[in-house]
Amino acid sequence: MPELPEVETTLRGIRPHLQGRTLRQAVVRERRLRWPVSESLLSLRDSKIMAVERRAKYLLLTLESGQLLIHLGMSGTLRVLEAATPLRKHDHLDLVLDNDTVLRFNDPRRFGTVLLSPPGEPHGLLARLGPEPLADDFDGDWLYRRSRARKVAVKNFIMDNATVVGVGNIYAQESLFDAGIHPSRPAGRISRERYAVLAAAIKAVLHRAIAAGGTTLRDFTRVDGQPGYFAQSLSVYGRAGQPCPRCGAALKADRHGQRSTVYCAQCQR
């Protein structure tokens, strides 16, 4: 599933081609996404795209006539193409622009989302989200205050969108390893000082991932382009049984919230 760095990479790839342009119409070929595409989307006509932003893993297109909320789901991709580009299987929706290009949404598994909200009314899916992990208001003090008396494992705690948005399974594991914190440790039993280290690790891990994604931006305007969700050097994710990159001990695996977690029992306490 695309995580925050992948969505941020997508944002940076499509924004220059969309912001300031006029959306002529939406062409919907398959309405059966995670939630059915609203009939109101079909009525979009000649609306200027005022801003293209990201909130958590949602892409937000602010129009004169409302706001489009797009989630890539498990397999969704967006490409900017010439309007005459032949369709591929699972090309479910086009946003047709005023320069004979389209933003094309492809989603084989159809868990993605394209929703329209009226002007000035942010969608309810955005209502209870915590801070952005790369924003100034996210820090160790925030994590410490939110965690008091919490018995949940710290990995589950930082993957909760009410705590902080967009820290998915891969980056939670990598951040906890960098911070030296065991993923099973109860959130309420971690000190303010260690949370400061963890918040800094989350920011650093995400920044590295976003920087690695920058090399794929050209793919967003190629007919055969896929974002690729950049391969990068990961310390623990997917490496159970392999040597710890710090101490050499065999990495262990556990489960948190039905998700596999790899960690070093020597380095993470």
Q: Which residue numbers belong to the known binding site for DNA?
A: 90, 109, 150
User: Which amino acid is residue 138, in one-letter code?
Assistant: F
Tell me how far apart the alpha carbons of residues 51 and 39 are, in angstroms, rounded to a whole number.
23
Query: Which are the contacts of 27, defined by CB distance < 8 A and separation ≥ 6?
Result: 93, 94, 96, 102
Active site residue 89: no
Nearest to residue 76, comparing CAs of 149, 1, 158? 1
Given the residues 3, 6, 8, 174, the one annotated as active site: 3
Active site residue 174: no
Given the residues 2, 5, 183, 227, the one annotated as active site: 2
Active site residue 259: yes
In 10 A of CB 243, how many CB atoms? 12
189-193: long-range contacts at Cβ-Cβ below 8 A with a sequence spacing of 24 or more? 190/144, 190/147, 190/154, 191/144, 192/140, 192/141, 192/144, 193/140
Binding-site residues, in ranges, read: 90, 109, 150
Given the residues 15, 24, 54, 57, the one annotated as active site: 57
Q: What is the dihedral of CA 252, 258, 259, 260, to 10 degrees?
A: 20
Strands 259-263 and 77-82 come out as unpaired
Active site residue 3: yes
Per the listing, tokens 């989603």 go with 107
Catalytic residue ranges:
2-3, 57, 259
